[in-house]
């Protein structure tokens, strides 16, 4: 699918789909970013392979493929656009750290949809104070070991974009992270200063997460 056309479907915020958008932007590949409200979701849901968002439509001529699961879509695009690592071993390391981010995103998602405000507050405090710091220590050490300023020795890969999005949705909590973890701060700055990413960040819609 060398001349494929891409349509990305997701809600009107960053969260699960943003890593996919960042991959497209970094690679300089055109795509249609279709965002919809929760009220409009029933119109799109029947098209989604698993009835969940985000999902991606890939069309090349008469052939169309529908893909679901954000990390699977991200891996697919990263391989196509040379953002998955320079070797099988490096790609495996990239995937390993990406799965760690997915773990954190899953925990955050459960908190966001919880209707019990007391439990939501308790779980958020545990996530912020106990769980996330343990993960961040691993990431900070990995960035130092790679000596590239990124998580992979060869340079920027999709896991850096995934991690950047995770940090971004922390909002004002990110500054405390940067104060404690210098290598993570460096990675965030390197991704943010990428010319293609910087241009995208200026024009993307402002959303809470």
Q: Is the peptide bond before 54 cis (omega within 30 degrees of 0)?
A: yes
> Three-state secondary structure along the chain?
CCCCEEEEEEECCCCCCHHHHHHHHHHCCCCEEEEECHHHHHHHHHHCCCCCCCEEEEEECCEEEEEECHHHHHHHHHHHCCCCCCCHHHHHHHHHHHHHHHHHHHHHHHHHHCCCHHHHHHHHHHHHHHHHHHHHHHHHHHHHHHCCCCCCCCCCCHHHHHHHHHHHCCHHHHHHHHHHCHHHHHHHHHHHHCHHHHHHHHHCCCCCC
pTM reported for the whole predicted model: 0.95
For 147-198, write each residue's pLDDT tens digit: 999 999 999 999 999 999 999 999 999 999 999 999 999 999 999 999 999 9
Residue 64: how many other CB atoms lie within 10 Å: 12
pLDDT digit string, tens, across residues 108-120 = 999 989 999 999 9
CA atoms lying within 13 Å on the CB side of residue 24: 18
Domains and CATH numbers, the chain: 5-81+197-203 (3.40.30.10), 88-194 (1.20.1050.10)
The answer to whether 123 and 111 have CB atoms below 8 angstroms apart is yes
Distance CA 67, CA 85 (A): 22
Q: What is the pLDDT of residues 20-63, one digit of tens each?
A: 999 999 999 999 999 999 999 999 999 999 999 999 999 999 99
Pairing of strands 5-11, 32-36: parallel
């Amino acid at each position: 699918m060398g001349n494929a056309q891409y349509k990305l479907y997701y809600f009107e915020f960053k969260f699960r789909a943003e890593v996919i958008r960042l991959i497209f932007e970094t690679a300089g590949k055109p795509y249609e970013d279709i965002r919809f409200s929760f009220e409009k979701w029933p119109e799109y849901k029947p098209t989604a392979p698993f009835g969940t968002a985000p999902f991606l439509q890939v069309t090349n001529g008469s052939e169309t493929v529908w893909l679901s699961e954000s990390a699977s879509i991200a891996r697919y695009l990263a391989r196509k656009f040379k953002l998955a690592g320079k070797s099988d071993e490096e790609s495996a390391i990239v995937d390993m750290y990406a799965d760690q981010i997915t773990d954190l995103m899953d925990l955050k998602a459960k908190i966001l949809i919880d209707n019990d405000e007391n439990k939501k507050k308790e779980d958020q405090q545990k996530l912020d104070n106990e769980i996330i710091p343990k993960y961040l220590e691993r990431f900070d050490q990995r960035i130092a070991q790679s000596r590239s300023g990124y998580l992979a020795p060869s340079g920027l890969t999709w896991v850096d974009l995934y991690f950047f999005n995770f940090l971004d949705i922390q909002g004002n909590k990110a500054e405390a992270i940067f104060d404690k973890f210098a290598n993570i701060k460096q990675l965030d700055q390197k991704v943010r200063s990428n010319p293609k990413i910087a241009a995208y960040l200026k024009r993307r819609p402002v959303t809470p997460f």
